[in-house]
Amino acid sequence: MPRNAESTAFRSALEVIRGVEPRVADAIGAELADQRESLKLIASENYASPATLLAMGNWLSDKYAEGTVGRRFYAGCQNVDTVEALAAEHARELFGAAHAYVQPHSGIDANLVAFWAILADRVESPALKKAQARHVNDLTEADWFALRRELGDQRMLGMSLDAGGHLTHGFRPNISGKMFDQRSYGTDPDTGLVDYDRVAEAAREFRPLVLVAGYSAYPRKINFRIMREIADSVGATFMVDMAHFAGLVAGKVFTGDFDPVPHAHIVTSTTHKSLRGPRGGLVLCGPELADQVDRGCPMVLGGPLPHVMAAKAVALAEARRPDFADYARQIVDNAQALAEGLLRCGAKLVTGGTDNHLVLIDVTGYGLTGRQAEQALLDSGIVTNRNAVPQDPNGAWYTSGIRIGTPALTTRGLGTAEMDTTAELIHAVLSQTSAGVGPDGTASKAKYVLDPALADKISRQASELLTGFPLYPAVELG
């Protein structure tokens, strides 16, 4: 077999790893094999390019680099400065932002940087300075209470979890819920859509310091111009978490009122998901918040990960190429085709369809919980994740929904015709799965019944569907 550059690089890496811990090498190889054989429909997952993956495995990993470009607390960071500056430059140009901070290790970290930047911009207090000087995980409960007392009643208004919001938008299990007094806006109970008049009413009543827009399971666009007007009407800082749909912004699918960057005071994102980069985060803002954002390390971040910033630079450079816009458009076309196929099969979809990269199926119509549906699909070679639906009767653990997305399959080259087939496979599994019973004979929210022969059949059909769309075709490990 021909050993091209990509195959040589990955084969050689695995050989080196195998010489130290063969089980790790085996797991890496097995992961590639599993991803090649399954229909990956998790909306938050994608496939990074070989160049992006390779950029993470190098000597940049060995460097400490606290600080920012040209202002490090360690010597010898000239090469780190180069890759961080490149990543920030590509981010600014890609999104049309005045300032980009590419150090966050994840989307949660990016949100923490944004929250602290907003607080620091609003208030200077002894407790805040103490918090900025220490790692956030070192703060005691007493520190948090002191901070809240000195800052005053710091309020955040964001989308509710069951409507599609995210845990990091002020909810108690997350650290953001300790920083802010949070209230949620939901969606219209009949349509599942954001009701901007109700958001404005909630903002007038609650008077938040921060109004957050963004989602992890809302299958429609958000009008960021209207949301900014609401924020301005109550003097709130408007923050957008575009982690899920950043690729659609980068690819100019979301423009005008639906592009958050011109409208928000501060924007956060991950660099994976629809942006198709490495796992990590970034923050975009104007000059008025830039200095505070650049204090992210050591304010809430540990040392920057230079090797991941290098991978971010590569992925963001890829996203600036013209073909990325074609990719982003195809993501939405595929999601809409998938939604239409499911509707033809009789599935119930939250909001009745999609405008973006994801589709949310209400599986109660199949007599299942989200947990049962998720596992039955996984048994059948279809990888999804369970998700709450608005006013979910099964709560956040078992849920009543399945969230599916098209970024990964679109990367593999699948189109709208393949989405029709995918919808049929999903429906075939869910329609033939039934709820199981627990040890006491009552209905279970976790156990399910699915004929193994059907699961095997669907799994083989899923694998056959992918045959014409090989994953990392230039990488040959065997």
Q: How far apart are CA 107 and CA 212, in angstroms?
A: 14
Q: Is 294 a catalytic residue?
A: no
Beta bridge partners of 157: 183, 211
What six digits make up the tokens of 157? 């208004």
Q: How far apart are CA 127 and CA 147, in angstroms?
A: 5
Extended beta strands in 335-411, E state: 348-349, 358-362, 382-383, 385-387, 401-405
Q: Is 215 a catalytic residue?
A: no
Q: Is 185 a catalytic residue?
A: no
Classify residue 236 by its DSSP letter. P
Helix runs in 96-239, H state only: 107-122, 126-133, 141-151, 176-179, 196-206, 224-233
Q: Is 327 a catalytic residue?
A: no
375 membership: H or E segment, kind and range:
helix 370-379
Q: How far apart are CA 107 and CA 159, in angstroms?
A: 17
Active-site residue (options: 109, 241, 362, 374) = 241
Residue 415: count other Cβ atoms within 10 Å of its Cβ: 14
| Torsion angle in degrees (nearest 10) through CA of 133, 134, 135, 138 | -160
Q: Whose CA is closest to 69, among 248, 306, 349, 256?
A: 306
Active-site residue (options: 11, 36, 37, 64) = 64
Active-site residue (options: 155, 220, 273, 403) = 273
Active-site residue (options: 37, 66, 81, 424) = 66
- Contact status, residue 355 vs residue 253, Cβ threshold 8 Å: no
User: CB under 8 Å to 148, separation ≥6 — which residues?
Assistant: 154, 179
Q: Is 109 a catalytic residue?
A: no
Active-site residue (options: 52, 187, 270, 354) = 270
Active-site residue (options: 134, 148, 183, 279) = 279
Which is it for the CA torsion 196, 202, 207, 212, positive or negative? negative
Give the residue numbers annotated as catalytic, written as ranges. 64, 66, 241, 270, 273, 279
